[in-house]
Amino acid sequence: MKIILLGAPGAGKGTVAKVLTELDGSVQISTGDILRGAVQAGTELGKKADAFMKAGDLVPDELIMDIMKSRLQEPDCKKGFLLDGFPRTIPQAEALKTLLSDLGLTLDMAVSLEVPCEEILNRLTTRRTCENSACQAIYNVRSSPTKIEGICDKCGSKVVQREDETEEAISRRLETYNEKTAPLIGYYKEEGLLMPVEATVTDEVVKAIQDRLKS
Ligand code: AP5
């Protein structure tokens, strides 16, 4: 599959992507995970991205496109990919369209995960993420806790709250989403690729995507 997962912060893009990759070997490409890994490793990219991320602002389009141009050409993308958190702006969507056309690739669809606002806030304040940048497994103290409190089930590292999970950063991320990313819903509708899906139950989202891919 070659799909884009759209949705507000906390809508469940990462959670759905992880389930889908296990089904058919497609690779999850999360720009957020890539950037957090770079910040943790202290690379040039990480140094440039850090302040934007902590504040809940978007990282500049040029940096993101540099990442995506090389990432989409890696061999593991041949089986398919799920774009989680990218594109995030109309210029990124336009650049992606050109890039995919240059690579001879076609998107199956852009899935828009729709979750009520109060549920989003609940999820973001109760999420926990594995601090190991090679893992970054997602948990939730309410809906999907770790088996041992504070320890990742998959790799045994500590699970923590992300640095952009302060009340201030969450509210800035939601504002940024409404202003810069929500317009992509109209963009992909025009492109004939939009699949809106009510995203309160992960298994139902996964099934709806699988059914659409089969049809
Ligand atoms: P990024 O990491 O992409 O963050 P985001 O879009 O804000 O999305 P989240 O990771 O917060 O949420 P999610 O939708 O993946 O939800 P999750 O599955 O974790 O980006 C972070 C930052 O990086 C940005 O602010 C920006 O600075 C920068 N950045 C990244 N990409 C960029 C780009 N393209 N351009 C510019 N800047 C960029 O789920 C949330 C919680 O809910 C979890 O606890 C989960 O367990 C729980 N949950 C999920 N589904 C359910 C369910 N069905 N029922 C109950 N609980 C659920």
What is residue 167's predicted lDDT score, i.e. its pLDDT? Answer: 85
Which pLDDT does position 163 carry in this prediction? 87
Examine the residue annotation and report whether 88 is marked as an active-site residue of this protein: yes
pLDDT, tens only, 153-195: 999 999 999 988 888 889 999 999 999 999 999 999 999 999 9
Of ligand 1's listed atoms, the one at least distance from the Cα of 55 is 27
72 CA → ligand 1 middle, Å: 20
Q: For residue 124, what pLDDT is reported?
A: 93
Å from CA of 48 to ligand 1 middle: 20
Report yes or no on whether pTM surpasses 0.85. Answer: yes
Is residue 37 exposed (0-12), middle (13-18) or buried (19+ Cβ within 10 Å)? middle
pLDDT for position 93: 98
CA of 44 to the centre of ligand 1 (A): 23
Residue 128 banded pLDDT, cuts 50, 70, 90: very high
Please identify, by atom number, the ligand 1 atom nearest to the C-alpha of residue 17: 18
Per-residue pLDDT tens for 17-70?
A: 999 999 989 999 999 999 999 999 999 999 999 999 999 999 999 999 999 999
Would you say the C-alpha torsion 53, 58, 60, 63 has a positive or negative sign? positive
Q: Is 36 a catalytic residue?
A: no
Q: Is the peptide bond before 196 cis (omega within 30 degrees of 0)?
A: no
Q: Residue 212's Cα: distance from chain center in Å?
A: 20
CATH of domain 2-115+180-214: 3.40.50.300
* Burial of 10 per CB tally in 10 Å (0-12, 13-18, 19+): buried
